[in-house]
């Protein structure tokens, strides 16, 4: 088993998505882009510009979803990544995405989340008592669902690895990939 889900939707953050996508490939794992439908999605770039108090958004690249949420059998996947951007705010209501998310937490498989990605496991009821990093403006989403906000570039809580924004990718993606490779090795030894 070497497939890893990357969860996206329209307005998924470009760097949040592409950095782990290519790092997974470098590690010999297969990133599988999953979304509400199997089609091309518009990604965005997010940044709080100097002097601004809110996020500025630009269009980024597009990305093709390999599989729709409804088609996913989560037992076929080693781990899952929740990308940031505005997409999680909208796709978190998808019943199949919630089913998939719960599987990874219940089975203790490697999970990673960045920025607004927290909104999906929060909606799925998977963050209660869990320590996580997220962008400061999503702290409420985490805490209202029982999670514990930690302002750090990498937070590891059991099978869950998280970062705040794309600025943290170099801190949390590596430990998550190590976790995936250990899980893969454990699968092979069975």
Question: What residues are annotated to the active site?
Answer: 116
Return the axis-axis angle of helices 169-188 and 14-26, rounded to nearest 10°: 40
| C-alpha–C-alpha distance, residues 183 and 176, integer Å | 11
Angle ∠(160,172,185) on CA atoms, nearest 5: 65
Query: What are 153's two structure tokens?
Result: 């570039």
Angle ∠(155,81,118) on CA atoms, nearest 5: 60
Enclosing H/E stretch for 22: helix 14-26
Who's near 31: CB < 8 A, 6+ residues apart? 4, 6, 20, 21, 24, 25
């Amino acid at each position: 088993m070497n497939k890893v889900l990357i969860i996206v939707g329209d307005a998924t953050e470009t760097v949040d998505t592409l950095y782990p996508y290519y790092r997974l490939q470098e590690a010999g794992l297969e990133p599988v882009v999953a979304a509400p439908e199997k089609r091309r999605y518009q990604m965005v770039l997010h940044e709080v510009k100097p002097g601004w108090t809110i996020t500025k958004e630009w269009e980024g690249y597009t990305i093709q979803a390999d599989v729709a949420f409804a088609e996913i059998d989560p037992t076929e996947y080693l781990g899952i990544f929740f990308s940031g951007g505005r997409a999680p705010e909208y796709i978190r209501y998808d019943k199949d995405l919630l089913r998939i998310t719960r599987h990874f937490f219940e089975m203790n498989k490697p999970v990673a989340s960045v920025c607004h990605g927290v909104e999906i496991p929060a909606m799925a009821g998977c963050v209660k008592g869990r320590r996580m990093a997220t962008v400061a403006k999503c702290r409420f989403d985490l805490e209202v669902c029982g999670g514990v906000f930690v302002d750090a570039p990498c937070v590891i809580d059991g099978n869950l690895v998280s970062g705040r924004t794309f600025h943290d990718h170099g801190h949390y993606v590596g430990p998550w990939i190590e976790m995936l490779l250990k899980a893969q090795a454990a699968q092979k030894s069975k």
